[in-house]
Amino acid sequence: MKRISFRDIGLKYVLSPYDEPVTSVRPGEAIVLEVEDACSGQIRAKGDFRDRSKIPFSNPVVGPIYVEGAESGSAISISIQEIKPTTGQGVTYMWEGYLAGYPVFQFFHTGFPREPRICAIKGGSIHFSDRITIPYRPMVGTIGVAPHPGAEAISSGVLPGRHGGNMDVPEVSPGSKVLLPVFHRGALLYLGDVHAAQGDGEIGGSGIEMPADVKISVDLVEETLNWPRIETDSEVMSVATTSAGRSFEDTIRTAFVELSLWMERKHGLNRVDALMLCSQVGRIRVGNLWTVAARIEKKYC
C-alpha cells in the first residue's frame, strides 16, 4: 500500500492546480497519508506556543494526489477508512480571528488567552483536563481538490468552497464518504487538518488538533456535483459555504436546496416534496463558521 508523508514532501498551505502531484492512485486503491497538525507541529509540550512569525499559515495538507481517470466536470468519492494519532496527543488553542467583531477583551477580562492545552489521547478518550474526558471522534478538517481555474490557488486554512477545503465537518470520519466535484484532470486531491474531536462551529478556532495517519481510498463518480456531499451509513449531507455575496443564512438555504435536488435525482422524490420533507426532518451541522452541512436520514429518502 502506498504511503505519503509530509516529512518527505514538506508542508503545503494551498490547494493549487499548479503543484506537481506527489503520487497517483487508481480508482479503488487505498493509500495512507501522514499529516501534520494544524499548527504545523509547533506545540508538542508545555511551554510551546503557536508562533505565526515563524509559520504564518495554518492547516498544512498533503497533496496533490492525482486520481487516474478523473476529468474536469466529473466527481470523485473519498472513503475515510481509518484515522490514527501518531503522537498520542492533540492540542487545542484559541484563535482571535474566530471571535472577530465580538468584544473579546471584555469577555476574557485579562486579555486574550494564548496558552494552548495539550490533551492526551488514551483508550478511546481525550483527556481535556484532570477532571474532564471527552470521546475520541477523529475527523478530517481539510479535504478538497484543486479549485476551479478562476480561483487558481486557495488557502488550506480558510476559504472552503465548492472544491471542499477547510470545511471542518465532524462527519468526515472513518466510515464516511466525501464526494467532491472535479475541476482539473486528475482531481488533484489534498488532505490534512485532522482533529481528535470537534464541536459544532469550532467556536474557539481549533478542534483537538493532532498529527495522524489517514487511510483513504478514492473512486470515480458518474455524477455532476455543484457542492461537496458527505455520506455515512445513516445520513446524506450536502455542504455549502459562505463567500462574497453569500451569507450564512443563504448558505443554509443553498445546502438544503442541493440536498433536495439530490433526493430528486437519486430517489425520484419531487424537489418540492423533498424540500418540504427537509423542512420537517432535515437538520444542519455547522462545521466551522463558514460551512453548513444540510443533512437528512437515509430512511426518509
Q: Which grid cell sits at 2?
A: 502506498
Residues with Cβ < 8 Å from 272, sequence gap 6 or more?
none
pTM: 0.94
SS3 at position 63? strand
> E strand or H helix at 121, and its extent?
strand 117-122
Cα atoms in the 13 Å half-sphere on the side-chain side of 105: 1
Q: What angle do CA 189, 97, 57 make, to 5 degrees?
A: 40
CA torsion, points 224, 227, 228, 230, in degrees to nearest 10? -90
CA nearest to 143, candidates 193, 199, 187: 193
Q: Where would I find the beta strands (DSSP E) of 160-253?
A: 164-166, 177-181, 189-195, 212-221, 229-231, 235-241
> What domains lie within the chain, and their CATH numbers?
2-223 (2.60.120.580), 235-300 (3.10.28)
Per-residue pLDDT of the chain (301 residues; tens, 9 = 90+): 899 999 999 999 999 999 999 999 999 999 999 999 999 999 999 999 898 889 889 999 999 999 999 999 999 999 999 999 999 999 999 876 666 656 655 666 666 667 899 999 999 999 999 999 999 999 999 999 999 887 789 999 888 999 999 999 999 999 999 999 999 999 999 999 999 999 999 988 899 999 999 999 999 999 999 999 999 999 999 999 998 678 999 999 999 999 999 999 999 999 999 999 999 999 999 999 899 999 999 999 8
pLDDT of residue 106: 61
Cα–Cα distances in angstroms (integers) from residue 154 to residues 68, 140, 146, 194, in the given order? 23, 18, 8, 19
Strands, sheet with 235-241, edge to edge from the N-terminal-most edge strand: 2-5, 30-35, 212-221, 75-85, 177-181, 229-231, 235-241, 291-297, 283-286
Radius of gyration over every alpha carbon of the chain, rounded to an integer in angstroms:
19
Looking at residue 209, the DSSP 8-state letter turns out to be B
pLDDT of residue 70: 98
